[in-house]
Structure 1
Amino acid sequence: MKQLALTVFLFFSILANAQTEKNKNNVELSKDELKFKAKIELADKYLFTNIDSATYFIKQAEEISNRIADEILIRSFLKSKGDIYKTKNDFEEALVIYEELLDSFQEKGDPYGVARTQSDIGVVYEEMSEPQKAIEQYLKALKFFENDPEYQSNAAATLMNIGVIHKKQKNYSEAENYYRRAQVIIDSDNDEDMKLRIRANQGSMLIEAGKPDKAKSILKEAYVIAKKENHQQGIATVTQNLAILEYYKGNLSQAADYFTLAGDAHESYGNLQAAMTTRVGIAEIYIKNKEAQKAIPLLKNAIAFYEETNDSDRLFPSYLSLSSAFAYNREPDSARAYIDKYVELREKYDEENNKEIIFELDKKYQTEKKDRELAEQKSAILQKELEAKQRNLYLILLGLGLFFAVIIGWLIIRQKTLKNNQLRQESKLKAAQAEIEKQNSLQEQRLSISRDLHDNIGSQLTFLISSMDSLRYAKQVAPETANDKLENLSQFTRKTIGELRDTIWAMNHDEISFQDLQERLTSHINTANQASATTQILLNIDPEINKAHSFDSVKGMHIFRLIQEAINNSIKYSGSDTIHIDFEKADLNGKNAFKVTIKDDGKGFDPEQVASGNGMRYMKERADAIEADFNLTSSPENGTSVIAVVPC
């Protein structure tokens, strides 16, 4: 669960600094500057209670910003505007504003402003699921805040944000350490807003760490503070954490009520990102209650929003939940599709993120480990001293200890044996399931090829039989006419036999490699070159293409048929001298692909003036069947190009 972990620092201190600076120069604020200042104050006031009102006042301030010459007020305006966009989850816009503010502070030489803005940028990166960039910014800010007693509140906020990142990495001991350090600072300063944020984050962490009773106690404290301060975002966040707590405890009805309350609060406040999270929670309850059909639309809606906002942290559990819902609803293809999305996102996320963070966590872990070892050594020394004074009592305790150790050891061994047996059974089940899925996939491929045999070869054989019967029973057929018809039937039969061989070739392969496709295509081109006295077909393959890459037999057959149809159309209609077939590497929607181009130098045609024939339709249908990007271009006297970009 996401938390807006950074404190929105009170703007009044900035305004006080602004006033002090102006008093030194004996300059009175203009009417525009007074209005500008008032609008910013109102925007800050409503930031955590009514985001729409905050947005309204900051837009009013923006309308007169170009008439303001006071640099301090302008920086205050940028800070408030960035905070509003961050709270509304428009992170890209917030990042642009904060970067502009950071440049302004650096140019002025204001280290406090620089550190505060770095902390804000860290929050944005954290919300954008870029923890490495976030922690880099937090550490830069913390280095300044911790060295100045005046900015201990800022240091507490930054410590809490670092703790949130550790919590997301499931390193709960480190997260608790940072929360505790922040809490010590805030308790001494009596900052109610920060107390609320720290306790809300501690409660969320304790839920994940499996400590529900302690989590509930801390969340109740946070709720009291939120109500007292009329902190609408805090109320919504704490209520959502209570919903998660009741869900883990099995109180589904109460969890659903909390989720509904939290979702309404988030939506009224304008935080759609958090509102979508409550919908995912309600969907999980539907799944638990075996009402998967109710969960599916909620999850689809949430996933669409998360994909649009690139929210990887929330997409992971949502993909898994929707896959489970489809599985309960007996839609295995859809369930498998969302599992694949989860795996793809996880691989990308693991590859791109957390390398530096993991290194830091490991370093801190090793430090803690050494501290524990020292503590254990001290404890051992004290224990030996105690043993020397209480030898007799120790022998009795040792006997009892050995007895219980044997019992516990037996229980551990028994539990481990049961767990190993269970793992073996699960492994066998997974292997069997994988084999079943493989067989189902092969069966689907063979059914598809069988349909191709029935639709194409079957119809062609029916035409041959019909034509021969027509010729057989025709009366008074001239010998020349009969010979022409027989010749046409002979050519049609040879074509049918060729297509049948191609289909049998596909059926004989569970998978078709690019090398297999190249060999089959070369054979077809050689045959076509021998049959045609006027047209030469040339094949060129980019050496960077991986020829060992394999397709399933159905996909391989569709690719071959599409190219074959394009060649036949060119030979039949274009009157070209040369046909070029080129394969090269490509990219399709961010995925590896290859592009095949079939281009002739024939007479061409105007696609808008020529109705699509069967050949063009068949090529488009085969491209759609393999999810390829298909394009046909032509113009009179400029030849024709058929291009298909095929995903690997």
Structure 2
Amino acid sequence: MRIASFLACLLLFGSSFLSAQEASKLSEIDQLKVDAKNARFSNTAVASSLLLKGLDLSQQKNSEGDIGYFYRKLVSEKGYAQQLDSARYYFNEGMQYYQSVLKEKGIENMEDELLGAHLHSELGEVYSINFVFDKSRDEYTQAMKYYDKFDDYIGVGIAKINIGNISLRQGDFPTAIEIFLEGKAIFDTTEYHYITAEICSSISSAYEKMNILNRATEYAQHYLNYIKKSDYEAPGIINAQIYLAKLSAKRGNISEMNTYLSKAQIGIDSLDLNYLKPALASAEAYSLLLSNDYEKAKTLLLAAKPYLEESKVDPLQVFNYKYQLAKSLVTTGEEHQAQQILEETIITVDSLHLYEEGIEIAKMLSRIYETNHRYDLALDMLKKHQFYTDETIGLKQQLAFKEIETKYQNSVQKNQLLKQQQKIDEDAWRIKRNNLWIVILALLLALSLLIYFFFSRNLRAKKEKELNDQALKSTQEKLRISRDLHDNIGSELTLIKSKIDQRIYLLDDEKEIESLTEISNYSKFAMDELRKTIWATKTNEIQLSELEDKIETFVQRFDINYELQSNYNDVAISSLTGLNVYRSVQEAIQNAVKHSEASTLFISIRQLSEQQFELRIRDNGKGFNTDESLRGNGIENMSVRMQEVEGSFDLQSSEEGTLIVFGFVAL
């Protein structure tokens, strides 16, 4: 959700009316972004200098999107350089700029109305990487409030994930799981499957830390399933299979472990993904180490060592591989080789919060140093060993407290239920003591109610049916509107995010410029789609001519010739019919443009009778096999939409092109 960056690039390339000198300045700003990114990890001073220069040029140009971008990146850069005071300074400067633009233009005219949310999120990340977790949580919470204010549920979900990660890093696993599940509930309603996959991975990791292996395996399987649904490449699937193999080994299910390892091995070999071999070897070696087969584990891990490419895999996978290799080397008497590996791994213990592993690493290093008469280093390792032990005990105590707290709450609830049951029993006893005339009165009242019910039930049933029908129609209408908002706006924003992530810093040639221009067009179209949905739902009926205008506006956004013919007397159609026909036409046109290789679209609207109308879309493309394509969601959605408005849908395709016919009725 790098909206400010997107708008910066939009301003950079979107205007054809800039002078050559102005365009040169924007190009310089763009180059400064790229140079600052490249220098970020190698030379923070140079990166900061480039960002400050970019901010100055943007302010001279009064480029709102670029100014917001550079304030955000300065906050982030100063944070990575551990300059917290400077990070807070640029955060405050950025918020002041945001408030001034908000006051001057109003929220509806701002290029990035979420700049405030992004700045809080950047500062939250700064505090997180510098281990100031309480302040980090506060900043992410503030960001979440901004996102919620502007109905950006994706931003709210990401903020929850960041807060959950803080609890995970602090070892508060139950709280982390609770927050992750809240985030998952948000993304379960979207097509951001890769985000849901990462949430499931984090939940699985938390359960693994708590040694609740069945739940860890359950969410690891969800992780694998969501990866398969997303656009992830094979490495993501293979990593999930490797993780599941490790969990199977922990649970003692060797057969299941071997199944996952076999699947991962096939994927690595068939796709030549050799850099994943150390992770695969690490998972298999884990089982061997559990069974004390250190020699075989060492041989397996050393065979994979030439393929270790730390830049391509997750730091945790690198840590696990080195940790297990060092452990097998120490056990087989090769302490000299193990020493260097252990010294590398203990550096990452703190950043990855792997305190249980840190206890054993510090213990092994202390013994090696003592054997080599390096008593000062041996003492340092003993101190680390004690520190990691204290941290681990603290986490276990925390988990135990959570368990006790849960039991206490359950006990309180149980006592409350017992008191309620006792009160019910006492009330029942009092009722039995009532006088006979009260019983007779109750019987008479019941008889009266029975007579009243007998004469009025038909009327009530009729009224209830009418109310239920109205409620059902209203609910269906709302569900349809929600689905349309989600399907269209969500998918466009997904595409924008994907493009921005891939291209935001890669603006070296015309091809990249063209790509960002395309992203700009998608963004504008997404907002236009929202307006069209509101247009169709704010009234009970629309004119057919309005629908024709919307269709022509939509087709004009594509680089394709078209002919639009109409022959009808303008009539009113229901807003639901108009919306469903329009969405179906959108799907048909997009399919033709993307897949048919057509040069021309032929669109016609004609009146068959007083209330019957027909809309045809024909292209001169290459056609397709309808039997195979009918299994796709797009064609199925068109058919369902037309059924919802009691319309018709027909599709014919051959080598000469494709014809789609929509039938619908007027009011």
TM-score of the two chains, using structure 2 as the length reference: 0.41
Structure number with larger C-alpha Rg: 1
